[in-house]
Amino acid sequence: VSVPTVTLNNGVEMPQLGFGVWQITPDERATEAVLTAFDAGYRAVDTARIYTNEGGVGAALEASNLARSDVFVTTKLWNNEQGYDSVLRAFDNSLAKLGTDYIDMYLVHWPVPFHNRYVETWRAFEKLYADGRVRAIGVSNFEPDHLRTLLDSADVVPALNQIEFHPYLQQHELFALHRELGIATESWSPLGQGTVLGDPVIRAIADRLGRTPAQVILRWQLQLGNIVVPKSATESRIRENIALFDFELSEDDMAAFAAIHRGERVGQHPNDFI
Ligand code: NAD
């Protein structure tokens, strides 16, 4: 399998499909899942400090036959580490756990507007980027007003915003704003954590194409231009979720997906999350 890349706003190429490892713990289990994903053809991994499996991802990098430069590693700063000096410390901790000397993509995990430290946090991200310790920097769960506040004082425009995005939450406002600002859209919980797999419209499209609901949902995301990081700890599903490059959804199928938006979240609203 060869996964296409998206060219980020700083020219870096990022695989459009990666492997999400939230809730795959402990480290040994994460290592095994990531090695399975590498074997299936994934070349990007999405972890975070708070997932407590950066060590497991690092062990998979070490155990695989892949060169470090063949893998795109994303990790995220946890909320209680926002600030300037604390970011620099947290970054070093993540590097040590991952057993690498650079990160491909470092994300501010949540804006936490209640604490109002994300602008200062971003200055530290810009420092890490200027020092060449990270190839690209981005944000996650930023609402339009958080992005605008950040951009008022930022030197570096975030390369992407990783947001909850699935058939029941199509994020029309952010999707349009990202285009305008040159920020890539990355979907977390691209399968709605499984809740959208039984949708009758999706099932009908899947049945007609001889694919699974998960596959047509991920294919829909790719055709929208989104970067996706589906998660599974089951080998057959890990393989299924990357078998997306030998079929296409028609314009009618894309329109059918557009019509099932409900504005329904599986996660918390970013304004409420501390
Ligand atoms: P997801 O939408 O990827 O769904 C995963 C679940 O769907 C699995 O646990 C399994 O139950 C089911 N599933 C997966 N593949 C399937 C298949 N082929 N057939 C049937 N069922 C299948 O949900 P997620 O894990 O929440 O999100 C994916 C990744 O996004 C995470 O691992 C993490 O890396 C990232 N994420 C980021 C944030 C954030 O705040 N930035 C939040 C949540 C998740």
Query: CA-to-CA distance for 34 and 185, rounded, in angstroms?
Result: 23
Is residue 169, in this structure, part of any structural domain at all?
Answer: yes
Mean pLDDT of 251-257: 98
At residue 210, the 3 state secondary structure works out as coil
CATH code where residue 185 lies: 3.20.20.100
Both tokens of 219, joined, read: 């294919």
Is residue 269, in this structure, part of any structural domain at all?
Answer: no
160-164 vs 184-188, strand pairing mode:
parallel
Mean pLDDT of the chain: 98
Ligand 1 pocket test, pick from 193, 234, 235, 271 with the greatest ligand atom count within 8 Å of Cβ, gives 193
Is residue 162, in this structure, part of any structural domain at all?
Answer: yes
ipTM: 0.98
Total domain count for the chain? 1
Is residue 126, in this structure, part of any structural domain at all?
Answer: yes
| Residue bearing tokens 């939450």 | 169
β-partners of residue 106 are 75, 137
Read off the pLDDT band of 274 (50, 70, 90).
Answer: confident
Is residue 251, in this structure, part of any structural domain at all?
Answer: yes
Mean pLDDT of 71-88: 98
Spell out the SS3 assignment of 246-259: CCCCCHHHHHHHHC
Closest ligand 1 atom to residue 21 Cα is: 32
Q: Is the pLDDT of residue 217 over 90?
A: yes
Is residue 226, in this structure, part of any structural domain at all?
Answer: yes
Is residue 165, in this structure, part of any structural domain at all?
Answer: yes
Is residue 53, in this structure, part of any structural domain at all?
Answer: yes
| Atom 6 (ligand 1) nearest CA | 193
Ligand 1 pocket test, pick from 191, 196, 220 with the greatest ligand atom count within 8 Å of Cβ, gives 191
pLDDT tens string 81-122 = 999 999 999 999 999 999 999 999 999 999 999 999 999 999
- Torsion of the alpha carbons at 264, 223, 42 and 32, rounded to the nearest 10: 20
Structural domain including 241 reads: 5-258
Q: Is 106 a catalytic residue?
A: no
